[in-house]
């Protein structure tokens, strides 16, 4: 073997190694993506799509029956109005208890959060309002079994929420 073959093998090994690290670091390669309006979300590992529409997606964890609803509420910042509407709706609803309005810090962002308990099926629920890419999004978590795991899943959804450049952006 002359030196040309050794150089070719070295370049080939470096190329395969680079591809491995690219695939290993990717959050979308090998994962399922779902569209919410003109944005994509990478699903957390234990969730499947239960139902979806143009502006929303319902995810379900088949093992624990936890559900996550992600919806695009439209362009602009409408967090305060939507949050006050939801709080008044929950206070007027006779099936909710232990309603608390707090702020959760995720990735250096303060995200308004509503915690409440559903008296009908005795489950804990959370509602997150956030603005990303000049759109307001709502994330509703129902039937929470483990709060830490749910927060990790919500954090993952928020991190992977990206514009889908294959669709028209506003």
Q: What is the pLDDT of residue 107?
A: 74
CB-based contacts of 71, cutoff 8 Å, min separation 6 = 36, 55, 56, 57, 137, 138, 140
- The verdict on residue 170 lying in a domain is no
Claim to verify: residue 119 and residue 154 sit in the same structural domain: yes
How many degrees, rounded to 5, is the angle at CA 63 between CA 42 and CA 53?
45
Whether residues 26 and 62 fall in one domain: no
- pLDDT 10s digits, 147-168: 888 888 998 998 888 888 777 7
Tokens found for residue 125: 């629920």
At residue 57, the pLDDT reads: 92
Same domain for 39 and 79? yes
Residues in contact with 167: Cβ distance below 8 Å, sequence separation at least 6, in sequence order: 35, 38
pLDDT tens track, the chain, 170 positions: 678 889 999 999 999 999 888 877 766 566 677 888 888 888 888 888 888 888 899 999 888 889 999 998 888 877 888 888 888 888 888 778 888 888 888 777 788 888 888 888 888 889 999 888 888 899 999 988 888 888 889 989 988 888 887 777 76
Q: H or E element: which one contains 70? A: strand 67-75
Question: What does pTM read for this prediction?
Answer: 0.78
Q: What is the CATH number of the domain that holds 83?
A: 3.40.1000.10
Residue 102 included in any domain: yes
Task: Give, in degrees to the nearest 5, the angle at Cα 35 between 76 and 139.
Answer: 55
pLDDT given at position 34: 83
Looking at residue 27, its pLDDT comes to 60
For residues 22 and 47, membership in a common domain is answered with no
pLDDT at site 31? 65
Q: Would 144 be classed as within a structural domain?
A: yes
Q: Are residues 38 and 24 in the same domain?
A: no
Based on the domain organization, do 104 and 52 belong to the same domain?
yes
Residue 2 lies in domain: 1-30
Backbone dihedral region for residue 113 (phi beyond 0: left; psi -120 to 50: alpha; all else: beta):
beta
21 and 46 assigned to the same domain: no
Q: What is the mean pLDDT of the chain?
A: 85
In a domain, 98, yes or no: yes
Tell me which H or E stretch contains 97.
Answer: strand 96-106
Question: In this structure, are 43 and 104 located in the same domain?
Answer: yes
Residues 37 and 53 in one domain: yes
What's the total number of domains in the chain?
2
């Amino acid at each position: 073997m002359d030196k040309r073959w050794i150089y070719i093998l070295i370049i080939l090994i470096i190329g395969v190694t680079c591809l491995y690290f690219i695939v290993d670091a990717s959050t979308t390669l090998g994962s399922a993506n779902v569209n919410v309006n003109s944005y994509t979300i990478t699903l957390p590992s234990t969730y499947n799509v239960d139902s979806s529409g143009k502006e929303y997606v319902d995810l379900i964890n088949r093992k624990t029956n936890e559900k996550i609803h992600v919806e695009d509420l439209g362009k602009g910042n409408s967090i305060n109005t939507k949050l006050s509407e939801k709080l008044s709706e929950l206070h007027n609803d006779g099936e909710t208890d232990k309603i608390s309005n707090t702020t959760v810090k995720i990735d250096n962002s303060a995200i308004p959060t509503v915690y409440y308990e559903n008296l009908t099926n005795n489950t804990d629920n959370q509602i997150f309002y956030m603005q990303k890419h000049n759109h307001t999004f709502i994330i509703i978590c129902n039937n929470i079994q483990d709060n830490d795991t749910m927060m990790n899943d919500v954090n993952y959804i928020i991190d992977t929420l990206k514009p889908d450049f294959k669709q028209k952006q506003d």
